[in-house]
């Protein structure tokens, strides 16, 4: 996974590509995480997938999380993986209310979104 | 297999898939004799390997569309875990993919250990690897027996279950249970292996390669098996990656992705083993990859026994791990720890973690959100069967309905893991 400076560089580049897309970053238990604006989640995931040097093309897991009592309360969490570098990156779309969509990022998302809806979690765009 | 109606209307066809077949490849409208027929395969059908419903659109015998319908054995395991203390959630997650219960445990327990920052003793790592690989053998044996049975090779079912039962005997010897053993604990394993276990495992490992030779002798030159599997259900490697498919399915298509090698946890880095890969990505490659994985698992088990370190099998952090029984009668502090752990459970510092292991079906990941209490605030399991099932449509489209059964068998889904 990217180290702390690497994560900050990713956040800076993302914000340069689309201002305000990254709301925060953190490192936890050796894993890097980006907190992003749910309205820009498509752009963020596309940028992470397609940008040279990033290439987080594999979506390992997609799940909804209730971060109560934190605000924004909900998060849709994407566990991304760069297979050649074996680097994992977590992207969290922070949601006060389900409002975003990541339909076009990868074919594998469809079924996971359906499952999120079944489990009654906040499901952006499902 | 239950027939719904003989002919479906175009409106119904649109419900089934995003691209209903209304025209031939040449662009001509389908004639009456080419009308699509929709049938249900399952949910209660032995060839679905669980409670899986497949809505299949057929043009004659050719599959034109397919939609898996899941959820029939949804038991709310993830939600239930939020209401249990961490150590009481272990038996829940164990029962998802009921053929790889040690892997379910390892994913959850490993994730909690990551949140705690707890390092487990070397002996515990080796014992976990030993049981995980025996479990992989057990899972692949069940797959081989049932997949061959789907193609008519009934004897394989009996042979594979004979050896699978020997593995269950070993599990019973070391853990007290044949299935759902709850052997892995946060901090290590529940108990050290008993006297005689090593001897029995070595005897099993000595015999297993010749058993695999026999299985291959039955299937590798069986004309029916070869014709039913070769060049059937081919999905390109890139398409599998796009779908998020992992495990033997992906490796059979030529991608050497195995978490035991690329991101080794526990003691996997200590062992010498190879990752079998296929070239075509058809049913035959999936069979060959899994059979070769069984041989590699035997090698890993033997190496784990050879290098099994001495020492404790569980960490000695009294805030997390139950104190030894003999301390309870001599130490008030141990008694207090025992009482607190059993009644309340241990607390995990706030945070979130994702931990993945290479299960017999691919990447089995566990995400845990801790809020500082003794219960997880959120548990999510990335079950490989759930993700891999997406590839079934690609495997079956424009193939014969008879091959659908074979494709499903080679996919090796476990519905307990899919629905959870």
Residue B209 in this model has a pLDDT that exceeds 90: yes
User: Residue B327: its pLDDT value, please?
Assistant: 85
User: Residue B30: its pLDDT value, please?
Assistant: 60
Cβ–Cβ of B380/A90 closer than 8 Å? no
CATH of domain B77-315+348-388: 1.10.645.10
B114 pLDDT band (50/70/90 cuts)?
Answer: very high
Whole-angstrom Cα distance, residue B344 to residue B320? Answer: 11
What is the distance in angstroms between the Cα of A118 and the nearest Cα belonging to chain B?
Answer: 9
* Probe site for chain B from A28, A30, A61 (most B CB atoms < 10 A): A61
Indicate whether A72 belongs to any domain: yes
Q: CATH code at A42? A: 3.30.460.80
Indicate whether A123 belongs to any domain: no
Per the CB < 8 A criterion, the answer to whether A45 and A78 are in contact is yes
What is the distance in angstroms between the Cα of B382 and the nearest Cα belonging to chain A?
Answer: 6
Residue B120 in this model has a pLDDT that exceeds 70: yes
- What are the residue ranges spanned by the domains of chain B? 77-315+348-388
Q: What percent of chain B has pLDDT over 70?
A: 91
Cβ–Cβ of B351/A29 closer than 8 Å? yes
Q: Return averaged pLDDT per consecutive 10 residues of chain A, 126 residues in all.
A: 79 83 86 89 89 88 88 89 91 75 49 45 36
A2 against B137, higher pLDDT: B137
* Probe site for chain A from B80, B107, B244 (most A CB atoms < 10 A): B244
User: Residue B328: its pLDDT value, please?
Assistant: 86
Q: What mean pLDDT comes out for the span B354-382?
A: 93
Indicate whether A79 belongs to any domain: yes
* Probe site for chain B from A59, A75, A115 (most B CB atoms < 10 A): A115
Per DSSP, helices labelled H in B234-306 are 237-243, 248-252, 259-262, 283-306
The per-residue pLDDT of chain B, averaged, comes to 87
Indicate whether A50 belongs to any domain: yes
ipTM, two decimals, is 0.81
What are B254-267's pLDDT values in tens digits?
A: 989 999 999 898 88
Provide the terminal-to-terminal Cα distance of chain A, rounded to the nearest Å: 29
Cβ–Cβ of A58/B241 closer than 8 Å? yes
What is the distance in angstroms between the Cα of B40 and the nearest Cα belonging to chain A?
Answer: 20
Per the CB < 8 A criterion, the answer to whether B167 and B101 are in contact is no
Cβ–Cβ of B386/A108 closer than 8 Å? no
Nearest to B338 by CA among B348, B354, B353, B326: B326
Q: List the single residue in B78, B115, B244 with the smallest CB-CB distance to A108.
A: B244
Please check whether residue B258 touches A, CB under 8 A: no
Q: Which tokens hold the place of A3?
A: 């180290």
Print the domain residue range for A52.
Answer: 4-118
Indicate whether A124 belongs to any domain: no
Number of domains in chain A: 1
Q: What mean pLDDT comes out for the span B326-338?
A: 88
Whole-angstrom Cα distance, residue B244 to residue B171? Answer: 32
User: Residue A119: its pLDDT value, please?
Assistant: 41
Indicate whether A60 belongs to any domain: yes
User: Residue B168: its pLDDT value, please?
Assistant: 94
Cβ–Cβ of A65/B352 closer than 8 Å? yes
What is the distance in angstroms between the Cα of B45 and the nearest Cα belonging to chain A?
Answer: 23
User: Residue B183: its pLDDT value, please?
Assistant: 92
What are B391-413's pLDDT values in tens digits?
A: 999 999 888 888 898 899 999 88
B134 pLDDT band (50/70/90 cuts)?
Answer: very high
């Amino acid at each position: 996974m990217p180290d702390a400076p690497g994560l900050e560089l990713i956040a800076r580049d993302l914000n340069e590509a689309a201002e305000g897309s990254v709301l925060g970053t953190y490192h936890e238990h050796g894993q890097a995480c980006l907190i992003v604006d749910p309205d820009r989640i498509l752009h963020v995931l596309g940028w992470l997938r397609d940008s040279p040097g990033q290439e987080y093309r594999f979506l390992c897991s997609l799940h909804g999380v209730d971060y109560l009592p934190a605000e924004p309360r909900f998060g849709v969490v994407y566990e991304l993986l760069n297979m050649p570098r074996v680097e994992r990156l977590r992207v969290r779309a922070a949601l006060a209310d389900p409002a975003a969509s990541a339909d076009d990022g990868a074919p594998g998302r469809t079924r996971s979104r359906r499952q999120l809806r079944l489990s009654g979690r906040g499901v952006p765009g499902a | 297999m239950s027939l719904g109606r003989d002919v479906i209307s175009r409106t119904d066809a649109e419900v089934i898939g995003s691209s209903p077949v209304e025209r031939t490849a040449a662009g001509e409208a389908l004639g009456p004799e080419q009308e699509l027929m929709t049938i249900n395969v399952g949910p209660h059908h032995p060839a679905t390997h669980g409670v899986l419903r497949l809505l299949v659109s057929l043009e004659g015998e050719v599959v034109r569309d397919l939609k898996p319908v899941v959820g029939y054995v949804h038991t709310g395991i993830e939600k239930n875990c939020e209401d249990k203390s961490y150590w009481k959630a272990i038996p829940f997650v164990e029962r998802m993919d009921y053929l790889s219960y040690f892997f379910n445990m390892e994913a959850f327990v490993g994730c909690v250990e990551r949140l705690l920052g707890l390092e487990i003793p070397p002996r515990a790592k080796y014992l976990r690897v030993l049981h995980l690989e025996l479990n992989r053998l057990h899972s692949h044996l069940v797959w081989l027996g049932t997949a061959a049975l789907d193609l008519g090779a009934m004897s394989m079912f009996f042979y594979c279950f004979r050896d699978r039962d020997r593995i269950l005997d070993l599990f019973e010897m070391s853990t007290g249970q044949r299935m759902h053993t709850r052997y892995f604990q946060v901090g290590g394993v529940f108990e050290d292996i008993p006297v005689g276990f090593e001897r029995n495992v070595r005897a099993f490992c000595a015999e297993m390669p010749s058993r695999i030779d026999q299985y291959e002798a039955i299937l590798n030159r069986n004309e029916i098996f070869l014709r039913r599997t070769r060049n059937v259900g081919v999905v390109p490697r890139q398409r599998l990656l796009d779908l998020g498919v992992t495990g033997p399915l992906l490796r059979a298509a030529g991608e050497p992705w195995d978490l035991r090698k690329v991101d080794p946890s526990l003691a996997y880095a200590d062992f010498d083993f190879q990752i079998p890969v296929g070239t075509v990505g058809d049913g035959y490659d999936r069979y060959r990859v899994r059979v070769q994985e069984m041989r590699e698992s035997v090698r890993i088990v033997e190496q784990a026994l050879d290098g099994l370190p001495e020492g404790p099998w569980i960490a000695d952090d009294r805030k997390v791990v139950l104190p030894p029984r003999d301390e309870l009668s001599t130490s008030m502090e141990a008694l207090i720890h025992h009482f607190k752990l059993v009644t309340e459970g241990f607390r995990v510092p706030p945070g979130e973690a994702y931990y993945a292991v290479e299960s017999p079906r691919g990447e089995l990941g566990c995400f845990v959100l801790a809020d500082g209490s003794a219960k997880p605030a959120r548990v999510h399991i990335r079950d490989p069967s759930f993700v891999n099932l997406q590839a079934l449509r690609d495997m079956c489209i424009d193939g014969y309905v008879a091959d659908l059964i074979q494709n499903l068998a080679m996919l090796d889904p476990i519905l307990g893991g899919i629905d959870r």
